[in-house]
């Protein structure tokens, strides 16, 4: 019996390692090419180790401006999303009304809509109301695109906060807003953190929205500028492309590690996946 279990474990290990290797190869290329003086498209040991690729891309034009743009764009959108989601989640979580269920179902329905499909009309509308090529306009749209899921998550986290303390606060004459900001939100700190970071990660990687709505090169976030960089130089200087990719991906990888423990399987599509 033990023998059979050991054999099962061994074959499972072998199968997993094979898959892991397949998943690792592209990542390995990224790591190796970024320190290779003359990188090509194959995974191979660097002909000579160098940090030149990183120094070459660490310029205002290639790295700093786009990263700052990304931070501005995604940071403001994230704040907007989280604030709106927290506000909206509160009545949805605390008060009963006929109107809760349809509202939440609509939110959940919207969560699943392919945002890609509405980008053409969004572009059209943005041209008409003169929001095209503005960071705040794009940021507003990005925030909205993440809003349904954030509201849903936030509401689920909020449902987990007991109402006893709020009732005490109400009795003491606190307003709803005070109750929310002083009592409920601090109690669901981890939940708010997860929603914030998750939203930010999603926005940081978003390519299509800024690709459509922003035109001026100076305003482009890293997700789009890296694409342009690739189009212009990518087929020549793979080492620099890899270095830039690492710099651009690092923030989200780090942020993900920070919240990963809270993101167990059930989270994957959030509170939404209720067994």
Using rule CB under 8 A, residue 258 touches another protein: no
One of 37, 49, 83, 258 touching another protein (CB under 8 A): 83
Report in angstroms how near the CB of residue 106 gets to another protein at its nearest. Answer: 9
177 vs 252: CA distance, rounded Å: 32
Using rule CB under 8 A, residue 139 touches another protein: no
One of 35, 62, 67, 122 touching another protein (CB under 8 A): 122
Q: Which tokens in the block code for residue 128?
A: 């008409």
32 vs 48: CA distance, rounded Å: 11
119-128 vs 135-159: helix crossing angle, rounded to 10: 130
Number of residues interacting with another protein: please give it, by CB under 8 A. Answer: 102
Q: Which tokens in the block code for residue 93?
A: 């979580």
Report in angstroms how near the CB of residue 125 gets to another protein at its nearest. Answer: 5
Q: According to CB under 8 A, which residues from 161 to 190 bind another protein?
A: 170-171, 173, 176-177, 180
Q: What is the DSSP string of 96-157?
A: --TTHHHHHHHHHHHHHS-GGGGHHHHHHHHHHTT-TT-HHHHHHHHHHHHHHHHHHHHHHH
Report in angstroms how near the CB of residue 50 gets to another protein at its nearest. Answer: 19
**Binding string to another protein for residues 1 to 40, with x set by CB under 8 A, is what?**
-------xx--xx-xxx-xx--xxxxx-xx--x------x
One of 51, 124, 160, 189 touching another protein (CB under 8 A): 124
């Amino acid at each position: 019996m033990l023998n059979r279990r050991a054999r099962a474990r061994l074959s499972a290990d072998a199968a997993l390692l094979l898959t892991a290797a397949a998943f690792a190869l592209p990542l390995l290329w990224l790591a190796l090419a970024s320190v290779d003086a003359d990188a090509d498209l194959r995974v191979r040991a660097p002909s000579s180790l160098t940090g030149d690729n990183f120094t070459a891309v660490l310029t205002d034009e290639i790295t700093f401006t786009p990263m700052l743009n990304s931070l501005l764009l995604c940071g403001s959108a994230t704040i907007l999303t989280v604030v709106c989601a927290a506000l909206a989640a509160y009545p949805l979580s605390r008060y009963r009304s006929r109107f809760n269920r349809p509202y939440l179902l609509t939110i959940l329905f919207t969560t699943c809509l392919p945002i890609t499909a509405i980008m053409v009309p969004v572009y059209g509308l943005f041209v008409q109301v003169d929001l095209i090529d503005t960071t705040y306009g794009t940021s507003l749209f990005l925030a909205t695109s993440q809003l349904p899921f954030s509201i849903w998550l936030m509401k689920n986290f909020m449902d987990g906060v007991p109402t006893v303390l709020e009732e005490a606060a109400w009795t003491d004459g606190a307003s709803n807003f005070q109750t929310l900001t002083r009592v409920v939100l601090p109690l669901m700190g981890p939940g708010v953190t997860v929603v914030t970071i998750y939203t930010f990660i999603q926005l940081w990687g978003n390519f299509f929205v800024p690709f459509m709505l922003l035109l001026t090169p100076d305003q482009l976030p890293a997700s789009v500028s890296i694409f342009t960089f690739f189009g212009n130089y990518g087929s020549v200087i793979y080492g620099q492309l890899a270095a830039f990719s690492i710099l651009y991906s690092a923030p989200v990888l780090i942020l993900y590690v920070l919240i990963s423990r809270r993101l167990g399987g059930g989270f994957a599509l959030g509170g939404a996946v209720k067994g």
